[in-house]
Amino acid sequence: MTAQPILQVVDLKKHFPIRKGVLQRVAAKVHAVDGITFHVNAGETLGLVGESGCGKSTAGKTILKLIEPDSGTVRLMGERIDALSPREMWPYRRQLQVVFQDPYSSLSPRLTAGAIVAEPLENFGIAKGKEARERVAWLFEKVGLRAEQMAKYPYEFSGGQRQRLGIARALAVRPKLIVADEPVSALDVSVQAQVVNLLMDLQEEFGLSYLFVAHDLAVVEHISHRVAVMYLGKIVEIADKKSIFAAPKHPYTEALLSAAPLPDPTTKRKRIVLAGDVPSPVNPPSGCRFHTRCPYAIDRCKTEEPVLREAATGHQVACHLR
């Protein structure tokens, strides 16, 4: 029996109602997250990839309880947090932190950098006054900022520096798990590498686990230990990094990987170009959600929904054909 996972998510669902008319009747639902199951082990990074609109960010926010889940269970170190009230959730926030995508809107514009990073320390009564300032200075150094910069305001920092501030804030309470919601997508490529490497260094030093939400496959390949691929609110494939990048099993993963740019432009490979757009999550296709665009679809795919099953050791895939 292996150690207990840090995060265990089972059949998590989040549907957003679309309300219409004077009485605000629910006319339809956006199936943003439609029953996903996965876990994150201690000290591990799980990359959660998918196209925009596939529900990967909603999944992250639901786990953080910034959005209430509709059903399913979320266990943080074995304890259920999915049904907790905000007050009951409060102690668990010390174990579970977040880094957002946009380094501009994720920092209060009217607070100093030092105050932003100190806020979680004050909230949990970890440190106050001088002690808090020393702790913040230490955190600044840890994320590659200088302690003198504590008195500056967010607008005085560059995008990469702001993201380092966001990481320092998340790190302040020494969490077990950080949900990183596209933490480098808004940064320049050269800065992306620095921030990703910083996250990896911090993981090693503090034994952090990451749920790393992203759409950039190169970044995910670099940072992740395992990768989960999402399509229209469902996880279609989960495996360790090596097997997913070397031998993807799901047709969607194949297409996604073939679309990622390669560093060497002379390399020839077969690109799988999918027909049409991603169907609307308001009325997702019957059966396998991918059947409308899948090059291998058979009749069974239109009627029967494939379950996520173990196709090889540690390699789960939701497809009738593989």
Rule CB under 8 A: which residues touch other proteins?
Answer: 61, 64, 66, 86, 90, 93-94, 96-98, 100-102, 105-111, 119-120, 123-124, 166, 169, 172-173
Q: Please, which residue, 96 or 288, has the CB nearer to other proteins? A: 96
Residue 290: CB minimum distance to other proteins, A: 31
Cβ atoms of residues 55 and 32 within 8 Å = yes
Characterize 177-196 residue by residue with b for buried, 16 or more Cβ atoms within 10 angstroms of its Cβ, and e for exposed. Answer: bbbbbbbbebbeeebbebbb
Instruction: List the structure tokens of 257.
Output: 């990987």
Residue 119: CB minimum distance to other proteins, A: 6
Q: Please, which residue, 87 or 269, has the CB nearer to other proteins? A: 87
Q: Please, which residue, 35 or 120, has the CB nearer to other proteins? A: 120
Cβ atoms of residues 43 and 214 within 8 Å = no
Q: Please, which residue, 179 or 257, has the CB nearer to other proteins? A: 179
Longest alpha-carbon distance in the chain: 68
Strands 315-317 and 45-49 come out as unpaired
Q: Please, which residue, 87 or 268, has the CB nearer to other proteins? A: 87
3-state secondary structure of 98: strand
Name the one residue in this structure whose structure tokens are 């174990």: 95
CA-to-CA distance for 45 and 92, rounded, in angstroms?
20
Residue 147: CB minimum distance to other proteins, A: 21
Residue 159: CB minimum distance to other proteins, A: 14
CA-to-CA distance for 280 and 272, rounded, in angstroms?
22
CA-to-CA distance for 273 and 252, rounded, in angstroms?
10
Q: Please, which residue, 88 or 277, has the CB nearer to other proteins? A: 88
Residue 123: CB minimum distance to other proteins, A: 4
Looking at the DSSP assignment, which residues form a beta bridge with residue 238?
A: 228, 316
Rounded to 5 degrees, what are φ and ψ at 80?
-70, 130
Residue 267: CB minimum distance to other proteins, A: 38
Q: Please, which residue, 21 or 263, has the CB nearer to other proteins? A: 21
Residue 154: CB minimum distance to other proteins, A: 9
